[in-house]
């Protein structure tokens, strides 16, 4: 249906009078540079609004004096990426000095300032409007859509009709041979990424691709507690702040839909008592997602027990709400100091410390953008098969395997996923055939929402646009395929461009994914209200005990203290904890590549 609608939309654009006759909309060529705003005047004229861009002139192309100085001394993203990922001895020194805080503050402010706040455009409006600002049902967007009256879908460049999305995906993105992530990224990382992002990327199927059901627009743990009050109440025990649970083989797991009657997506053959109920309705799809849901369930109930012990007069509601704030803080801490740290490859040790921004201008508000949703489709992470305790499972055996979690137990899955390599995301065709339909859907969605080209987004995030297909890919075969499909480097679409872009050595994807994705991520994490001066204090989290949990939790501590959690204990053992990380053990990497050395 989506493919048919996309074809009809494009056909309508091509056959409409405005597309075939009369003066061409001059804004279709995106003449305004350096974030200048193009405003059409009359039938064929335009003006560029250069306000606060640091540039002036007809197309905002002439730098002001201080802009010229800044541009002359500013290093390229490739340069500082090289510095941050080399010379480990140097960063070992920096990480133990005050310079670490200074650099972290600089990283946060520079990245966050690239995201407009308050939001500007959305899936409907390509100009500033009150609806774009106030209607939280929309995804926001950084660049306005390509005008509907342009000669081509990408404005003025490229073919009058874009290539079939299925053809694009098969030629550019389909895996021929599994390519493992060069940093040793594992399935623990892959499932964490998927489970974490499902709280913020929730396209509303009923309303359309430009709409979201994640009304919190940030880290609210809707994947644990549900995205609405009714679902939350169905998951709560309403005793001591805890969530509902069941005990299987002496351990705590999510309840079934029999006891927590929330809507979950399972195949018809799965009986109700085997359908685990959690905040996100799709988590029954993969055992890895339900594994993380179980860990967070155990952590929530464990934290509630700690709070109850310290605050015996608190009622169920205060225990629940305070535990939720603690888990939000723990999540952000893990994402910045474990997840983003691994993803970046930086030797600078990243730090979650909201106080670093208290002296800077910073808005504690976030909106999820269409572009962030698009670029975060990291399905190349998924391997060809899944290995657990000596058994190998195909996709058909793995998906909707509702008994795998309780049969093996959380510990066995953690051990298995921590030791299996995930795939490289960008720079090589690496999407498994079973998942290719997702990539096709992403491309179709980008056309329905009329996203601008990959090169236009590079310019928006202060990156130089590519001038050739070879420069973009670094691979002759891929460059030829791109040229055949798109004809013009400025017509390459946003998502395909992200995945075909060449990756630096030992990197999991290309420069654009880092430089465009990181600002969205850091703005969303540090823009959370718990990071504001009004919230960031012990009383918010029930006192120093809860505050220290937020400040000290790591991926390993979260997992280890919840492997053997039971309802009766309310705590967990950390003895004999298996290997837990977002990368496979160094010994495994060294065995694969003996020549691998630190620079």
DSSP 412-440: HHHHHHHTSBPBP-SSS--B-GGGHHHHH
What are the angstrom distances between the C-alpha of 184 and each of 44, 69, 422, 507, 554?
A: 54, 40, 8, 10, 19
Contact 589, 372 (CB under 8 A): no
Contacts of 151 (CB under 8 A, 6+ apart): 19, 24, 28, 160
Q: What angle do CA 474, 72, 56 make, to 5 degrees?
A: 100
Eight-state DSSP code of residue 23: -
**What is the 3-class SS of 144-187, one letter each residue?**
CCCCCCCCECCECCCCCCCCCHHHHHHHHCECCCCCECCCCEEH
3-state secondary structure (DSSP) of residue 247:
strand
- How far is it, in rounded angstroms, from Cα 32 to Cα 48? 6
List beta partners, residue 212: 203
Catalytic residue among 266, 376, 457, 495: 376
Query: Is residue 563 a contact partner of residue 577, using CB atoms and an 8 Å limit?
Result: yes
Q: Both tokens of residue 132?
A: 């774009």
Q: Are 510 and 458 in contact (CB under 8 A)?
A: no
Please confirm, yes or no, whether 198 is among the known catalytic residues: yes
What the block records as the tokens of 467 is 């001038």
- The 8-class DSSP code of residue 464 comes to P
Q: Give the SS3 label for residue 46.
A: strand
CB 34 within 8 A of CB 53: yes
Catalytic residue among 34, 198, 377, 432: 198
Clarify whether 376 is annotated catalytic.
Answer: yes
| Catalytic residue ranges | 198, 376
């Amino acid at each position: 249906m989506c493919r048919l609608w996309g074809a009809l939309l494009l056909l309508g654009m091509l056959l409409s009078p405005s597309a075939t006759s009369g003066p061409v909309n001059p804004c279709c060529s995106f003449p305004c540079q350096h974030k200048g705003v193009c405003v059409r005047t009359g039938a064929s004229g335009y003006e560029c609004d250069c306000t606060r861009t640091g540039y002036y002139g007809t197309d905002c192309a002439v730098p002001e004096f201080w802009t010229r100085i800044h541009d002359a001394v500013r290093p390229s993203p490739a340069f500082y990426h090289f510095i941050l990922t080399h010379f480990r001895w140097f960063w070992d020194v920096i990480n133990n000095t005050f310079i670490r805080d200074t650099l972290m503050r600089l990283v946060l402010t520079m990245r966050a300032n690239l995201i407009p706040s308050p939001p500007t455009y959305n899936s409907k409006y390509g100009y500033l409007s009150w609806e774009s600002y106030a209607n939280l049902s929309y995804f926001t967007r950084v660049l306005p859509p390509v005008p509907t009256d342009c000669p081509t879908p990408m404005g003025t460049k490229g073919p009058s009709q874009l290539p079939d999305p299925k053809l694009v995906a098969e030629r550019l993105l389909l895996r021929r041979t599994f390519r493992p992530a060069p940093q040793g990224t594992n399935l623990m990382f892959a499932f964490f990424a998927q489970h974490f992002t499902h709280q913020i990327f929730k396209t509303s199927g009923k309303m359309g691709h430009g709409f979201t059901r994640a009304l919190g627009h940030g880290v609210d743990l809707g994947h644990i507690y549900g995205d609405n009050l009714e679902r939350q109440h169905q998951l709560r025990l309403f005793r001591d702040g805890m969530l509902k649970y069941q005990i299987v083989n002496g351990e705590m797991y999510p309840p079934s839909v029999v006891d927590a009657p929330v809507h979950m997506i399972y195949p018809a053959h799965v009986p109700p008592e085997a359908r685990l109920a959690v905040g996100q309705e799709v988590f029954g799809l993969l055992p890895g997602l339900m594994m993380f849901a179980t860990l967070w369930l155990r952590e929530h109930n464990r934290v509630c027990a700690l709070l109850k012990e310290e605050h015996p007069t608190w009622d169920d509601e205060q225990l629940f709400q305070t535990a939720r704030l603690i888990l939000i803080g723990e999540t952000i801490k893990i994402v910045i100091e474990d997840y983003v740290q691994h993803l970046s490859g930086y030797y600078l040790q990243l730090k979650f410390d909201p106080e670093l921004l208290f002296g800077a201008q910073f808005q504690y508000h976030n909106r999820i953008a269409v572009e962030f949703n698009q670029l975060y489709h990291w399905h190349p992470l998924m391997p060809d098969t899944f290995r657990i305790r000596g058994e190998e499972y195909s996709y058909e055996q793995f998906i909707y395997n509702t008994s795998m979690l309780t049969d093996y137990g959380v510990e066995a899955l953690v051990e298995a996923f921590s030791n299996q390599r995930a795939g490289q995301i960008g720079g090589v065709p690496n999407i498994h055939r079973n998942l290719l339909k997702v990539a096709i859907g992403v491309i179709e969605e980008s056309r329905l929402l009329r996203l601008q080209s990959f090169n236009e987004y590079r310019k928006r995030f202060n990156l130089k646009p590519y001038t050739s297909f070879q420069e973009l890919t670094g691979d002759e075969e891929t460059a030829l395929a791109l040229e055949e499909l798109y004809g013009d480097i400025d017509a390459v679409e946003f998502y395909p461009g992200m995945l075909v872009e060449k990756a630096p050595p030992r990197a999991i994807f290309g420069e654009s994914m880092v430089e465009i994705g990181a600002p969205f991520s850091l703005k969303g994490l540090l823009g959370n209200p718990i990071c504001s001066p009004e919230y960031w204090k012990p009383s918010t989290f029930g006192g120093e005990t809860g505050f220290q949990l937020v400040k000290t939790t790591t991926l390993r501590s979260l997992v280890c203290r919840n492997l053997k959690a039971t309802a009766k204990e309310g705590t967990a053992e950390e003895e004999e904890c298996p290997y837990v990380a977002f990368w496979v053990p160094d010994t495994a990497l060294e065995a694969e590549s003996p020549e691998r050395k630190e620079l």
